[in-house]
Structure 1
C-alpha cells in the first residue's frame, strides 16, 4: 500500500492541476455580460489584488523572520 501511495498522491495532484486549468479556460471563454457587469468585475478584481498586495506585505515579515 505504501508503494502505491508514492505514485498515487502525485498523480492525483497532477490530475487536480489539469482539472483546474481546464475549468479556468472554460471560465475565461464565457461572455462577460453587460458593460456594467464588466465594470463591477474589474472593480472586484482590483480590490482582490489590492488585498493580496497588502496580505503579502504582512506575510513577508513572517517568511523572512
Structure 2
C-alpha cells in the first residue's frame, strides 16, 4: 500500500502539471476581444505587476 502511494502521488503531480499547461495554452490562444477589452486587460496586468513589485520590495 505504501509503495503504491509513493508511485501514485508523483503521477498525479505530473498529470496536474500537464493539465495546467494545456489549459494555460488554451487561454493564451483565445482572442483578446475588442480594443477596449485589450486596454482594460493591459491596465489590470500593469496594476498587478506594480503590486507584485511593491510586495517584492517589502
* Global fold match (TM > 0.5): yes
Corresponding residue for residue 42 of structure 1 = 42
Runs of 4+ aligned residues of structure 1 deviating over 4 Å after TM superposition are none
Shift of residue 57, structure 1, vs aligned partner: 2.4
* TM-score for the superposition, normalised by structure 1: 0.81
Corresponding residue for residue 22 of structure 1 = 22
Gaps of 5+ in 2: none
Gaps of 5+ in 1: 59-65
- RMSD of equivalent CA atoms: 1.0
* TM-score for the superposition, normalised by structure 2: 0.89
Number of residue pairs aligned between Structure 1 and Structure 2: 58
Query: Structure 1: how far apart are the matches of 2:27 and 2:34?
Result: 16
Query: Structure 1: how far apart are the matches of 2:13 and 2:6?
Result: 12
- More relative contact order, 1 or 2 (CA 8 Å, 6+ apart): 2
